[in-house]
């Protein structure tokens, strides 16, 4: 019997790709006096390339951007401070997020988030999505001092929720860090496939969050 649904953040409930593009547009405009020699689309594309879907922290991204485009009078820390302070303002959910969370809550499932990343940066993004009110637990890897795919973070979440690992389903967009890691820890898993990824027919896969309730029924 499934009692808890746990979610990854970026690429799962937070549309990070769209959110990041919106943020970069605003950041470019903010510092446009120093970036006039670079087309906005060129700056944006290079940022996204160096960011590697969020797996590279922005201090390195901005250092590389400054070097690559020969940007003067701006330091990585100036860019980074703007990012950590203001990114949350651009956070956008995937379609049907709130509809899904409301339904799961009404059906008495415990809900939680496990995300890799910086604290309080990730927590601020979660609050910006206004989903913290649905969550009984939020674990951010930097604060927990352990990150996915380490099974400890999944075990810790289940213990704090007061459920067994095999009473949990984890939903995430990373095959390694989310799907395989949560399954290896003892949870059931659902893979969130985004538009730039191919569906994987041999594992439970969703493209829309509102597919989750139907899949849960298969486990109960």
- pLDDT band per the 50, 70, 90 thresholds, residue 28: very high
Token readout for 216 is: 């849960």
Q: What is the pLDDT of residue 197?
A: 53
**If we measure between CA atoms, which residue out of 83, 51, 46 comes closest to residue 67?**
46
> According to the model, what pLDDT value does residue 217 have?
85
pTM higher than 0.75, yes or no? yes
Q: What is the mean pLDDT of residues 32-56?
A: 96
Interacting residues of 128 by C-beta distance below 8 A, sequence separation 6+: 88, 89, 91
> Among residues of the chain, what percentage have pLDDT more than 90?
94
Render pLDDT for 110-161 as a digit per residue (tens, 0 to 9): 999 999 999 999 999 999 999 999 999 999 999 999 999 999 999 999 999 9
Express each pLDDT in 144-153 by its tens digit.
999 999 999 9
Does residue 7 carry a pLDDT above 60?
A: yes
> Residue 195 pLDDT > 70, yes or no?
no
Q: Where are the beta strands (DSSP E) in the chain?
A: 4-7, 110-115, 137-140, 168-172, 188-192, 205-206
């Amino acid at each position: 019997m499934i009692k808890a649904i746990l979610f990854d953040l970026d690429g799962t409930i937070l549309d990070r790709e769209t959110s990041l593009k919106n943020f970069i547009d605003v950041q470019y405009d903010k510092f446009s006096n120093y970036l006039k020699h670079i087309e906005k689309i060129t700056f944006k594309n290079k940022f996204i390339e160096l960011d590697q879907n969020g797996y590279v922290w922005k201090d390195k991204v901005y250092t590389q951007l400054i070097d690559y485009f020969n940007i003067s009078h701006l330091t990585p820390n100036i860019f980074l401070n703007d990012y950590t302070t203001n990114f949350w303002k651009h956070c956008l959910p995937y379609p049907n997020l709130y509809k899904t969370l409301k339904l799961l809550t009404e059906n008495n499932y415990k809900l939680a988030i496990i995300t890799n990343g910086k604290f309080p940066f990730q927590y601020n993004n979660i609050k910006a999505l206004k989903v913290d009110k649905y969550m009984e637990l939020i674990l951010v890897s930097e604060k927990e001092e352990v990150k996915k795919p380490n099974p400890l973070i999944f075990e810790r979440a289940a213990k704090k929720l007061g459920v067994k690992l095999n009473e949990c389903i984890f939903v995430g967009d990373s095959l390694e860090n989310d799907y395989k890691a949560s399954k290896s820890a003892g949870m059931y898993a659902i893979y969130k496939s985004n538009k730039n990824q191919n569906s994987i027919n041999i594992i439970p896969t969703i493209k829309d969050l509102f597919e989750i309730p139907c899949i849960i029924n298969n486990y109960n």
